[in-house]
Each structure stands twice: as structure tokens, then as C-alpha cells.
Structure 1
Amino acid sequence: MRARPAWRLLGSGVLALSLALTGTAAALGEDAAPSPAPASGLTLVTLQGPGTSAGTREAADLLARQDALLAAIGAGEPVYRWTTALNGFAAPLTDAQVSTLEHQPGIAAIEADAVRPLAGRTSLAAVRGSAASPRLRGGAGIVIGVVDSGIAPESPAFADVPGLGADPERFTGACSEGEGWSADDCTRKVVGARWFVEGFGRDRVRSSESFSALDVLGHGTQVASVAAGNAGVSVRVDGRDAGRFGGVAPQARVAAYKACWGAPDPSGDGCSTADVVSAVDAAVADHVDVLNLALAGGERIDTLQRALLGAAEADIVVVGASGNSSRSAFAAHASPWVTTVGSAIGRMSRGRVSVPGGASWTGGGRPVAVRGRAVLAQDAAAPGASRHDAGQCRQGSLDSRLVAKRIVVCRRGGIGRIDKSEAVALADGRAMVLVNRTPGAVTADFHSVPTVHLPAVAGRAFSRWVARHPDTRVRMTRVMGASGARRTAPWSASGDPRGASLKPDAVADGDAVLGALPDGTGRSWGVFSGSSAATAHASGLAALLRAEHPGWSAAVVRSMVVTSARPIPRSSVLAQGSGALPSRAPDAHLAFDVSASAWRRALRSNRLADLNTSSLLLSAAQTTAVRKVTNVGSRPEYFSVTARGFTSHRVRVQPLAVRLAPGETARFTITVIGPTTPGRLDDGELVWLGARGGVTRVPVALTR
């Protein structure tokens, strides 16, 4: 049997693709991650029209349509049926059946199943320094659905503690039992648990995995803890106190939908599209309030994006990762009903190494104060070890007689960053200075010894100083005060300038973010990087707003979250959207609302760019656009707008000011005047200022 293509052009001209989830390893400077692998031979079929509430007569009608279609192509009972987020099924079909299916009426998309990697990378480093400074309240009564690798209910981040506040009213999810998971593992904090494996394949799962919602990989636990981990949790690693932790919305509840699995070869870990769509369908039926997908995929409107459309129509705030392969893919989740979040870096703990005479170099790190002699790792090679291996601080390559009680200067590369500090600790080193060999990012990982990570130029200068002064003491300290300047992560995927909507919507911290881990990983806490961490932050902010403003629609919450961001200097809006998200709930009062029915109407008419979204992506053929703003505050307010940042175009907004009563809406028109040079990008923002102090930023990209 010949291999089936991974995509088909169907229905109203929508291209349903089986696209790569952005592999994080290559993007984060590690070994290359695999492309999407074929799953268990399933074909995903989406029928035209929306899903409906489970158990209704309309749901029975959808099942009858599916049965008729399956009978028409001679197929048996499908592996999965979907009736809530969308109308469709996943089934093993032959090439002949797929060919027949393409000619059946009422088909929206056909897609081959694929296994896609998660959009984050976990570091099981030892924790030093202090954890996050948490807020104590926020998110009560709200359920965040996390489609990921499961959850570790034993973590104190998810304990059923006093002070969780009001219980959710809408949530109707179940607690599905399985290996290592009983009904008692669901509590007032972890309110739901489901798992989906038939797409990935039971025979492809590693032996240590659990056929339940129990997390083995650790990724889902970290994401859920950042979004909704309990406040004031003591972080202890190896018997040491490392401060206290709390999620963005610490009173929010978590519903785990395990659709991502570990394979015998870790390079095969990932999430079958069929399993993910099934998880989304279940989450919509369960009535979650916020839905987090820390996995990329969907540069076009594919099966998953159609399922997420159903979630948006059900008044759920949907948050998706933009992905981490900026060199090979555009931002994922291109659909305007998904809040797509990319990664920012630079806002990290910082450390400094100082030498006699006043010279000092600053990089990433969270070290305690250390003073001692420094040694270049390549000059401290153990007997039988090469200078190359010693320079990279590989385990067993350092001579403890030359390293003991010293600050060891290790070169980046070859092995993981935290493995280097562990090698230094095993050789009795006091601390580590990690130096980049080539231009690249620095991090603030949690290391086995106090560590400062220097960029390439600073690393070379410090290494030369140590070589000339081998017996002079140096000092390592934590940099107090403001964190480093934020910038868009170089691996964070940017938006497609030819897309229907501007992506990503915003960025958030995505480098060395602390989160909880399952006990089975060997650590209770670790850091992770990638747009997974950024989505967790955005989901927590959405939960805060939903709890504070229960009358706001999901579209209003989405608008309020992304327009509250602050732009990052010298970064295109196609890389950052509206900018870096804040650490607290927004307090502006101006929103861009979209009715639940408008999403599908725009998709059918191929007019997604005309939706009332809080961003604009205008081509040469578009010189005007219209948007509507609504005062969602409790008092009348005066709002004025300014166009900023454009370099080769004049952008005019009319009217320049409006006075809106609570709930009142006003239309405004954006007009672009300037050259239409092919391939030229000009971008900026519209900034609305409210009389009560609120700031609402609307990113604009002109793709001429």
C-alpha cells in the first residue's frame, strides 16, 4: 500500500495540514528535534458545521451523519468520535476509502494523524537561590484545562489546601482512573483527569509510562504549576530551602487531559493529533474556562484548529504555544480564535563575577556570594581525560585535586548546562562560571553549585584574565535590583506576514522558568524553557481575569490579556505581537469583543482578517481597516488613540478620541498611506489611553 499524503485540499478551499509541532531541542540550542512522525495509521475526518452539547438530540444527529459517511466508504467503527468541539472522527482508513471520502459531500478536512513534540524542554537541575515570589490569591472558581503529558497530583503545588476559594460552577468533568491513578487523586485542586492514547498507540509507549492521567515526562506538571500552582509552597531540593513558589492564578483549579506520551526513545515523545483533538473535545464538553495547549502546530486551519474553534465558540479562552523553531517554521496556532504566545528572554536572575582592580562581568545566574581562586576547566583535566572534555566539564573529566574549593570556568557545548555544574560539584568545585563559545543566549538555570553564565564576549575576557592570574581570588555575587532587559527569544517562532491574522499575539517569559515536577523524575522542582512556559503564564492571567470579571466573554478576556503587554524595543510585531505580558491582571477598560458566531462566519467567507481582533495585519491591497472598541469598565470614560512606531507609512486613525459609557461600543477606522514596496515590512502600534490610567496596545504589521 502506498503512503498517503499528509494533507488534502478540501471543502471551501481550506488547507488541512499535518504540520510539525515546533521541536524545542534544536530551537533551544540542543540536538535537533524530530519532525512529526506518522502515528498509528489513523485518518482524521472533520465534517462541516459546528459540534454541539453532548447528550442532546443534535449530538445524536451528528453521530448519524458520521455513521452514514462511514457506511458510504465501507469503514467500521472509528477509534475516536468527536461531537462537541467539532463534528468528526478518527479511523484507520485505506487509500481507497480516503479517495472515496474526498468525493463525499459535507467534508471540511481530511488529515493523516501525526505525533508532534511538546513546545518546552525540562531541566532537572538542582535548585539554588530563591523561587518565585507568589501572589496569594486569584483565579478562584476557574478551571484551567491543560492538554499535555498529565499531572503529578502528589506535588504540593496541587495539594487540596485551605483558601482555594469558591468551587467551579460550570465544570462537569470526570476523574478517569488508570494505572497509578484512583478517584481519590482528584481533589478540590485537581478537579478532572482524562487520558487519550489510541492515536499515539499503546504499543509505542515506554515501559515507565502510566496508562492514566499521571505525568511521567514532567512537562504537563510544570505547565500546570506555573499557570495555577498553589501559593506559598515551600521549594526544597536535596534538603535545602530554595524559597517559596506560587502559580500565576494560585486559586484556579486544574483539569488534566493527558494526550502526550513518552516513547522508549525520548526523541519519539509527543502528542498524536487524534489524541489532542479528543482531549480538546472532552475539555469543551467538561466546560473548562481556560484551555492551555503547550504544543505547537497549525500554521493553517487544520483539524486541531477547527477543534479549538469549537472551544472558542463555547466561550473558552484558548491559549496555544507559538513554537520554538523560528528558523524553520512560522508561529503556530495561526487561527485568530487562539491566543498564541511566544517566548521572551532576558528577564532573569543575574549574577556577576568581579576581579581585583574593579573589572566585572555580568550574566545569567542566581548565585550565593562566593569568593575563591578560579581555574580554567581545560587546565584541570583528570588523568586520562582530554583537555577538550575537561574544558566542557564532562563528568569524570576534572581532577578534584586541581578543582577542589575553586571557581571552575567551563565552556558551553557538548553536554547539558546543568550536567556541567554537577560535574564541578562531584569534583568538589566551589562554583562555576559557564562561558559561551559563540554568540547566544545566557540562562539562569538552577545548578548544583553557584553559577554565573556569561555571554561569549564577556566569557572570553574573563577566561583570559583567569589564565593570566591563576592564583588571584575572584568574587561571585547575585545582581540585585532590576532584571535584565527583555527581548524576544531568537528561537521563538515569528508570524507569517502572509497570514490571515497577526501572530503571535504576545510573548511571555520562556527561559528557565521554575515549575513543579513529578517525584518520579528524581526532582520535585526544575526549570523549563520554551513557549510552553509562556503559554502557562498567559493561561494564568486569563484565569485571573475570568475570576475577577465573570460576566466577560472569552473574547474580551483574550483581548484584555494581549493588549496589556508592553512592547519590546527593536523587535518586530511579527516576533512579539503586542509585546511582553505583565505579571499581574490587566486593569485597562477597553476591549475588542468578537461574538461566538463570528469566528465561523469569517472562516466560511474567508474573511478572517476582518474579525474584530486586537491586532492588524494589512497587505498592500488593504489600505483601510475597521475595528470596534467597547468600554468594559464600570464608569463612563474618555479614550484617545495615537499611532506610533511606523517608519515608512503614515497611519491615520479616526476618530482620535471617544467617550464611552459602560458597555458602549465605538467604531474606528485605520487608514494607511505610504509606499507598497514588495517585501517591505513596516510595523508599529495603536495606543489607546484611558482617562482612568489604562493603556491598550494594538500591534499593526504592514506587509507591503
Structure 2
Amino acid sequence: MRRIGVLTALVAALLSPPAAASADGPAQDPSLHLVTLTGAGTAAITDPRRRAAARAQFLDQQDSTLQAVQAPDPVYRWTSALNGYAVDLTPDQVSTLEAMPQVALVEANTIRPMADRSSRPAAAMASAARRGGAGVVIGFVDSGLAPAGPVFAATPGLGRAPEAFIGPCTPGEQWTRETCTDKVVGARWFVTGFGTENLSSVATLSAHDDHGHGTQVASIAAGNSRVPVILGGETHGRFAGTAPQARIAVYKACWTAPDPDDDGCATADLVTAIDRATDDQVDVLNLSLAGSNGFDTVERALLGAAEADVVVVASAGNDPAEYAAHASPWVTTVGATTAGSARGAVQLPAGIRLTGAMAARTPTGTRPLVLARDVGTADAAPTSAARCLPGTLDAKQVKGAIVICQRGGSGRVDKSRAVARADGVGMVLTNSGPGAVAPDLHAVPTVHLSHRASQRLLDAVARRGQARARLVPLPATTEPSVPDWSAPGDPRGGVIKPDLVAPGAGVLSTLPARPGTGPQWEYLTGTSASAAGVSGAAAVLRSRHPDRSAVAIRSMLSGAAEPISGESPLTGGAGAAARGADTDLVFEVGPRDYRRYLAGRLGPDELNTGSLLLDARRGTATRSVTNLGSTPMYYSVTVEGLRSHEAQVRPLAVHLQPGETHHFEITVTRTSGGLALDHGAVVWRGANGDRLRLPLAITR
């Protein structure tokens, strides 16, 4: 009966007009939608003839569904990471497509924001001389790249060339085919989803970066080693990316708009970038971008990349009110740590002290504390004055005061310049919503407060009226900790997210050079920086172990991470990433297991991921470990950290030959009393010092 119903629906679709005006209402306006057909893409097919045949079959399937609803030609087609297209559709066409059995998902094109970035030029830093990543290509889906300068130059020390990468160098404005080098090996750009009519006047129709975010991310992951950091004509140490010998492939899918608040990345462009990067055979794919925590079109495209043996790394996000983005088990999702971050405090009367980010090392005296919105010029809009936009502050009222400025509308450093021009002596930068704080180098001493601390400050000022305060520097943090703005994992999710954490506060990076100048140095704060560092670490491991799969590399990254004291796996994942950390014992995932998980045919307890999110009422899960080393090894198992539960692992020890896999059963039971929520880890240790941790969270 179901097959007859489907056939009837298809016949009706073929005979009905798509979206004409109805008798009951006006014509429906079409809008861009992303349509995904069932099944995997072609990228995992290694035989060229079979792959070409599958691609031709996919195009026929796409044409059939398009014709069924009389849709126009699609603006994008995808066949590598997934089978689908982006096309303008009316609501009726969407409904008809959603009813077709060969259609897995239809969703509207949306714009995702790029992560915030800091604007602090670098202070003195230690010399950096690194190697790693030779022969590996990292694909960056971001705002492009500004390749001029020594950070991205083709230097003699890059090592062996990539063997599999086949991506093109697509020319455009400020980008010729000669712009690609032995370091920057490929370039593509995708703008149809965002729309050229929505671009800012400075946007370049090419892979060139006119925003800065993509350049920063690429420099952190794969910038060259021993690049002098020159400020004011003086050298302040040297710079190196995490994998300085890795090559860079640019996939520009994020764009600038006339209003900076509208900058972002259209999902149609993102999916196309992922599809092309997969087809180009990058080794690592970095998305330092916002994302969903469901299985949308972007996540399905990333599944195709993972199935094609690409290490996929993405940002968890900078909004603690949202669960970590990229909740899929085939993505290494990265949160942030704040070790080494410069700090300061706003000190108010009655012992109130609010801590935030502060680059200045000189305190202010105790001065009047004023709200920017109360000291604006006569012709300034209150909202503009509140944000300390240039020219909005009245120097008569600001002189000698510390000004409270609201984030947004202009660059953070631009706000402190506005305060300095009005003769202010300090600034408190407040977050009006969740988001990262950054130790920028401001024109006046500045403390940047989180949303929670900002509310406390504003409440205190409202209660006391005219207040006084002083800004004081504090010692930088030394032990890694997870900041409150790094998005946590969903306790009701299928797998633990984030997978691990990495430095994300004040990470040195480079911006596009200004005309006639060298590199512009800046600290990047946010999980964008964290993901970039882990992408570089993945490139180092892929270069060292070219015979190991992407799944094994991802397992090595999380399995060798260092746990952070006091952090749950739902905030700190497996722990802090360690560059170059190595292990021969890994969790392997079967070639089709991710897709079985997506279809609901394989539960999270059975999927062989490197973490375990467990319901204590269910209590039992299985995991398999594989010895990828070249010698036999004895491994023993211990359980760490659980307080109100007990975990039994069977067997407790194994002897594994090279390439051998062994299955373990993990059973968790509640002990008398204690908390229902708990976390710990199952740890395998080898006789050679090898270690593999499985973070364990009991959440229900």
C-alpha cells in the first residue's frame, strides 16, 4: 500500500503545475533551497570508472526530481561529498520534493556568521621554530586568504609535495593563477548563495580574503615557521603555525556585507565548498565557522568528506547558550581553552571586582565611571553613543573618565580610539550577549567583560548612580581552563561534544597586509582559533603516518589529549590537544558505520567513537581498540574519575599483535547514594607508555 501511495504522489507531482498563483492567494515567491538525495556521494569510490558512472547516475536522479516539480536549473550541483543541488523553489515545490522517497532533506539557504576576531597587535613572544605537515593539504572553508608575505610564501623548507591533491587555482579579482604556489596549492570561491548583490564595496570576487578571518585561521594552522614578528620597526620574536610545512587550499564561502553584522557564509556556498574540497582530495578540512547541532545539509556534506578519508575539524562555537555545533560523530569538534590569556579587573567601591580580558599592564587611577550612552554628543543617536562609534562621544563629559562601551557596530579597538579622542583614560567593553572576550591592544587601558560580568557592572552602576572605578592588570592564566563562552555539548546528544579543546584565547595570527606594509599581527580569540590549531595538529599526524586513515588520526588527536582538571567531558571533551602527540592504539570506525548511525540503524553505544555518553539505566556499551604499531603490545585497562558510579571493563588486559583489534564491554552501575550525573574515563595503557583515553559521561 505504501508503494502505491508514493507512486500516486509522484504522478500528481508530474501532472501538477509547480507554484502558480492559486485561487485562494497570490503567487508564491521562490527562494534558494538545498536538496539532498538519499545515499552517499562519489568521493569514497576509488575506481575512476565506477566513480564516473555513479556521477552520471546522480545527475540523472537530480534531473528527475527537478523535472518532477518543474524547477529551474540549479545554481549548484553536488556529487562528491553528497548527491544533491541548490535551486530556487516555492513552498509547494518544497512540499512535493519532501514527499519523494529519493529525497533525504530539503532546507532553506541560510547565512551563518563568521566567528568574532580580536584586534590586538602582537606583543613580545617566544621564538618559534617548528616542522611538520609536509605533503599534507589543509582545505580552509572560510573567507579566503591574503597570501602575500612570508607567512604563506613558498619557502625551500616545505618538504615533500602533496601526491593526491588535484584542486584548481581559480582566478578572479586580485588573484591570478600565479598566486598559487608550492605553499598555496589551490583556490576556489563560491558566492551564489550569499548573492553578489549583498556584497560590500570592498568584497573581491575571488579567493582573496577581504575580511581577515580566513587568513588568521590559515596562519594558525599552517603558517610558515620562523617568520619575524615586526612591530614599530622592531622584531618581537618569531611566528610559526602548528603545521608550517602543510600546504593550503582555499575555499572561499564567506563574504563581507555593507553592514558588518551581515557578514557570513551561505549554507549553499558552504556545502559547495565542502563538496569541491572533497573532490579535490584535501587531507584535512577546517571549518572555523558557526554550525548547527543537527544533521543538516552541511553535516551531511561533512559526512561525505569523512567517508572520503578526510580529517574534518570544526569549531564548537562561542555561544554558551547554544550547544556545541557540529554534533556529528564524523567531525572533530573543538572547544577553547584560555591558558596564557592576559587578564584584568574592574574594581568598584565596596570590594566589587569584575574580571575580564586586559592587554594593558599599567593600571588606571580611580576615576569617574560613565556610561557611553549618557555622554554622547548632541547629534549622536543614543545607540551609536552607547557603542562608542567614532565621533559620538562628548569630550567635555568624557575627559578624565573611564567609559563603559557596548560591543557591536564597530571594531573593538575603534571604540577605545573614540574614547581616547574624547580624552577618556580607560574603557570597559561590555558584551550585550554571549560571546568571547579578547585582550586587545587598545588606545586606552581596557577591560573586556563577559556578558555575565557586564550585567553585574551595569546593575552596580544603576544602583549607585555616579560611580568611580579603577582598571588593574592581573597575572595571566597559566593552567588551561575552559572559558564560559566555549559552547558545551548536549547532555541528551548521541555523542560527547566537543571532542577536545585547544588554545582559543589570544592566539597569534596574521591579517591581510596593508598596502606598502608587511604582515599585520593580531591575536584571535574564539573556537575558530582552537579548530585551526587542531587542524594543524591533524596535518602533523597525517604527515607522520601517511598510511593511517582519517578516523585513526582523529582518534589519535582525542585519545592523546590531556584531561583538564575539574572539567566535564561535555565542556572539555577528551581534554587539551597536544601537538604531535602520538599513539598506536586507536578507535577505528567501519566504512559504513557513520551512515548507519545517521539512519538510526546503529546506536551511539555501538558506534566505535573515542568517547561514551551513557545512560546509567542502559548501562552497557562496547568499544574496539586496534594496535596500529609495528610490534606486539600488552595493554591494560583502568577506570578513572567516577564518583557515584562504578564501571567494569571486560577484559581488563589484552595482548595485541600489529593490526589486531579487540572488543571490550563497558558496564556502568550506580553505587549507593551520590549524584545521578557523573563523568570519568576508561584508559588503556601500553607497556611502552602508549595511552588511549575514552572520556565517559553519565548524563541521564
1:195 to 2:209 alignment: no
Aligned partners of 2:501 and 2:233: how far apart in 1?
35
**Cα pair 2:395 2:423 within 8 Å, conserved:** no
Aligned partners of 2:398 and 2:221: how far apart in 1?
45
How far the C-alpha of 1:361 sits from its partner, in A, is: 12
**Cα pair 1:588 1:693 within 8 Å, conserved:** no
1:343 to 2:336 alignment: yes
Give the counterpart of 2:92 among 92, 96, 110. Answer: 96
The equivalent of 1:495 in structure 2 is 489
Aligned residue identity for 2:580: A
Aligned residue identity for 1:222: Q
Matches within 5 A, 1:201-216: 201-216=195-210
| Runs of 5+ unmatched residues, structure 1 | 1-38, 355-359
How far the C-alpha of 1:195 sits from its partner, in A, is: 0.4
The equivalent of 1:593 in structure 2 is 588
The equivalent of 2:73 in structure 1 is 77
How far the C-alpha of 1:266 sits from its partner, in A, is: 1.4
1:537 to 2:533 alignment: yes
1:575 to 2:571 alignment: yes
The equivalent of 1:159 in structure 2 is 153
SS in 1 for 2:157: coil
How far the C-alpha of 1:535 sits from its partner, in A, is: 0.6
How far the C-alpha of 1:675 sits from its partner, in A, is: 7.0
Q: 1:232 to 1:128 in 2, by over 3 A?
A: same
1:66 to 2:62 alignment: yes
What do the CA deviations read for 1:547-567 (whole angstroms, capped 9, x no partner)?
011111000000000122222
The equivalent of 1:124 in structure 2 is 119
Q: 1:89 to 1:449 in 2, by over 3 A?
A: same
Aligned partners of 1:366 and 1:651: how far apart in 2?
46
1:508 to 2:507 alignment: no
**Cα pair 2:593 2:602 within 8 Å, conserved:** no
SS in 1 for 2:186: strand
Aligned partners of 2:358 and 2:226: how far apart in 1?
23
1:614 to 2:605 alignment: no
Q: 1:132 to 1:317 in 2, by over 3 A?
A: farther
Aligned partners of 1:475 and 1:325: how far apart in 2?
26
The equivalent of 1:52 in structure 2 is 42
Q: 1:323 to 1:128 in 2, by over 3 A?
A: closer
SS in 2 for 1:278: helix
The equivalent of 2:254 in structure 1 is 260
Aligned residue identity for 1:47: L
How far the C-alpha of 1:337 sits from its partner, in A, is: 0.5
What do the CA deviations read for 1:604-635 (whole angstroms, capped 9, x no partner)?
34324121110001124521111011122333
What do the CA deviations read for 1:479-498 (whole angstroms, capped 9, x no partner)?
5xx84332212122211222
**Cα pair 1:352 1:452 within 8 Å, conserved:** yes
How far the C-alpha of 1:283 sits from its partner, in A, is: 0.3
The equivalent of 1:18 in structure 2 is none
The equivalent of 1:29 in structure 2 is none
Q: 1:366 to 1:540 in 2, by over 3 A?
A: same
The equivalent of 1:444 in structure 2 is 439
Aligned residues: 638
**Cα pair 1:418 1:446 within 8 Å, conserved:** yes
**Cα pair 2:435 2:485 within 8 Å, conserved:** no
How far the C-alpha of 1:186 sits from its partner, in A, is: 0.6
Aligned residue identity for 1:310: G
SS in 1 for 2:109: strand
How far the C-alpha of 1:394 sits from its partner, in A, is: 8.4
Give the counterpart of 1:553 among 549, 554, 571. Answer: 549
TM-score scaled by length of structure 2: 0.81
How far the C-alpha of 1:423 sits from its partner, in A, is: 5.4
Higher deviation after alignment, 64-73 or 95-104: 95-104
1:292 to 2:286 alignment: yes
The equivalent of 1:418 in structure 2 is 413
SS in 2 for 1:550: coil
SS in 2 for 1:342: strand
**Cα pair 2:358 2:473 within 8 Å, conserved:** no
The equivalent of 2:20 in structure 1 is none
**Cα pair 2:141 2:287 within 8 Å, conserved:** yes
Aligned partners of 2:422 and 2:688: how far apart in 1?
59
The equivalent of 1:332 in structure 2 is 325
1:231 to 2:225 alignment: yes
Aligned partners of 2:226 and 2:395: how far apart in 1?
39
CA RMSD of aligned residues (A): 3.9
1:654 to 2:650 alignment: yes
Higher deviation after alignment, 80-89 or 595-604: 595-604
Aligned partners of 2:163 and 2:287: how far apart in 1?
23
What do the CA deviations read for 1:511-550 (whole angstroms, capped 9, x no partner)?
2222111135997222222211111011011000000111
How far the C-alpha of 1:110 sits from its partner, in A, is: 1.1
Aligned residue identity for 1:687: V
SS in 2 for 1:574: helix
1:309 to 2:313 alignment: no
How far the C-alpha of 1:165 sits from its partner, in A, is: 0.9
The equivalent of 1:15 in structure 2 is none
Matches within 5 A, 1:324-473: 324-327=318-321, 329-349=322-342, 374=365, 376=367, 378=369, 413=406, 418-419=413-414, 421-422=416-417, 443-448=438-443
SS in 1 for 2:110: strand
How far the C-alpha of 1:653 sits from its partner, in A, is: 1.4
How far the C-alpha of 1:132 sits from its partner, in A, is: 6.0
How far the C-alpha of 1:586 sits from its partner, in A, is: 0.8
TM-score scaled by length of structure 1: 0.81
Higher deviation after alignment, 610-619 or 431-440: 431-440
Aligned partners of 1:401 and 1:673: how far apart in 2?
63
SS in 2 for 1:343: strand
Aligned partners of 2:405 and 2:397: how far apart in 1?
20
What percentage of residue pairs aligned between the two structures are identical?
49
Q: 1:186 to 1:376 in 2, by over 3 A?
A: same
1:604 to 2:603 alignment: no
Aligned partners of 1:418 and 1:676: how far apart in 2?
55
What do the CA deviations read for 1:88-145 (whole angstroms, capped 9, x no partner)?
1111112222222123231111111111112x212233x2522464342110110000
Give the counterpart of 2:101 among 92, 99, 105. Answer: 105
Higher deviation after alignment, 543-552 or 50-59: 50-59
Aligned partners of 2:101 and 2:110: how far apart in 1?
25
Aligned partners of 1:375 and 1:390: how far apart in 2?
23
Q: 1:191 to 1:40 in 2, by over 3 A?
A: farther
Aligned partners of 2:92 and 2:672: how far apart in 1?
48
The equivalent of 2:636 in structure 1 is 640
| Runs of 5+ unmatched residues, structure 2 | 1-28, 348-352
**Cα pair 1:158 1:190 within 8 Å, conserved:** yes
Higher deviation after alignment, 447-456 or 647-656: 447-456
